[in-house]
Amino acid sequence: MTTNTEAAQTLSQDELVEAIRGATDEVFTTMLNLTVAAGAEFVEKEEAVPCSGVVSLIGLAGAWVGSGSMACSAGCAAKIASALLMTPYTAIDEDVLDAVAEVTNMIIGNVKTALESRLGAMGLSTPTVIYGRNFQTRSSGNQKWTVVPFALGDDQMCVQVCISPNDDAGKKTTRTGFPVPHLLRT
Amino acid sequence: MLDVLIVDDSAAIRKILQRVLRQTEIPIGTVYEAGDGAEALETMRRQTIGLVLSDINMPNMDGLEFLTKMRAEQIWNGIPVLMVSTEGTQAKVLEAVGRGASGYVRKPFTAEQIQEKLVGLI
């Protein structure tokens, strides 16, 4: 296994996309008994544009640093919670937000596990979930996100990861911004 | 009847694990819940727990610290602890076992995986 001190300095787009697709598929099949169909991945830079829906965000830190997130509409979030908890939900409440956070935690946690053997050990933050209308996010970063869209029946969601080597570990605080997914833009 | 403690910061996972427990043939009594390791230790001081299912990544006190503190108390030494976590590397599993975990299941999990592990522990 690669240790922190000898962590790999490159990660191909294909490796990252494969990890995202594999983790998302496994979580939805195993825990939700739902099938997701992955679309074509793309790279996106953050932009401060208004959006609506549910966004769940998790930080990664270690030899490599970054963030992972899942974003979907309110209706899609309710569908995810209904499948996970085997209870029908039609609107956003605490249970739905917690379910989306946990699904994101499992997906990004498994992406991390898939990459750790090459990139070195990383820690995972607890998820933050945002739900609202017409909100904006921005940061001082200039990060590129690898975005993988998924179709969940008639709904759409996306899983995205932004990760880079932690060259300045211990010297500065690393912050990554968040690109508003196209599917949530108002 | 076996009283169980589920430790996870996600209410969704606590609910799912509670449902899985009730589906086993193990005679389950009261199922207590805690959102982190500190809450779990408080619950264990007040109740007689026979089985613990715990996450690792949690705020305040994580599952590994909880496990270490729990195993340091002689009265809780024999209680089986099943770790249920997204942390899936071999290093993390070995660390948990080294600190006294009785078993390990990686998230995402199936009900059958949890039930199989529990039958082996009880």
CA–CA min distance B10, chain A (Å)? 6
Instruction: Please give, rounded to a whole number of angstroms, the shortest distance from the CA of A49 to a CA of chain B.
Output: 30
A34, A123 in Cβ contact below 8 A?
Answer: no
Measure in Å the smallest separation between the Cα of B107 and chain A Cα atoms.
6
ipTM comes to 0.91
pLDDT at A173: 44
Q: Which amino acid is at A174?
A: T
pLDDT band at A175 (very low <50, low <70, confident <90, very high): very low
Q: Provide the token pair at A16.
A: 């990252």
Instruction: State pLDDT tens for residues A82-108.
Output: 999 999 999 999 999 999 999 999 999
Low-confidence ranges of chain B (pLDDT < 50): none
* Residue B35, burial from CB neighbour count under 10 angstroms (0-12, 13-18, 19+): middle
Closest approach of chain B CAs to the CA of A135, in angstroms? 25
pLDDT classification of A112: cutoffs 50, 70, 90: very high
The fraction of chain B above a pLDDT of 70, given in percent, is 100
Mean pLDDT of A171-178: 49
Q: Please give the model's pTM, rounded to 2 decimal places.
A: 0.89
Partners of A130 in the β-ladder: A55
Return the pLDDT at A167. 74
Helix (H, G, I), strand (E, B) or coil at A52: strand
CA-to-CA distance for B19 and A99, rounded, in angstroms? Answer: 15
Read off φ and ψ for residue B94, nearest 5 degrees.
-65, -35
CB pairs < 8 Å spanning A and B: 62
- Distances in Å between the alpha carbon of B101 and those of A68, A96, A106, B10, B85? 29, 31, 21, 20, 12
Residue B3, classed as helix, strand or coil, is: strand
B89–A116 C-beta distance less than 8 A? yes
A166 interfaces chain B, CB cutoff of 8 Å: no
- Which pLDDT score is estimated for A168? 63
**Which segments within A47-91 are labelled E, that is strand?**
51-62, 64-72
Query: What are the pLDDT digits (tens) for A1-53?
Result: 444 445 567 899 999 999 999 999 999 999 999 999 999 999 987 655 667 89
Summarised one tens digit per residue, pLDDT across range A42-89 is: 998 765 566 789 999 999 999 899 999 999 999 999 999 999 999 999
Nearest CA in chain B to A95: B12
Would you tell me how many other CB atoms lie within 10 Å of the CB of residue A87? 11
Strand partners, B81: B52
Over the stretch A114-171, which tens digit does the pLDDT of each residue have?
999 889 899 999 999 999 887 776 654 557 889 999 999 999 999 999 998 887 655 5
Q: Which of B16, B58, B86 has its CB closest to that of A109?
A: B86
Q: Which one of A105, A112, A122, A124 would you mutate to disrupt binding with B, by most B Cβ within 10 Å of its Cβ? A: A105
- Would you state the pLDDT for residue A172? 45
User: What is the spatial distance between Cα B92 and Cα B94, in angstroms, rounded to a whole number?
Assistant: 5
Tokens encoding B12 = 């969704």
Beta carbons of B12 and A95 less than 8 Å apart: yes
Calpha distance A13→A87 (Å, rounded): 37
Interface probe with B: pick from A106, A108, A128, most Cβ of B within 10 Å? A106
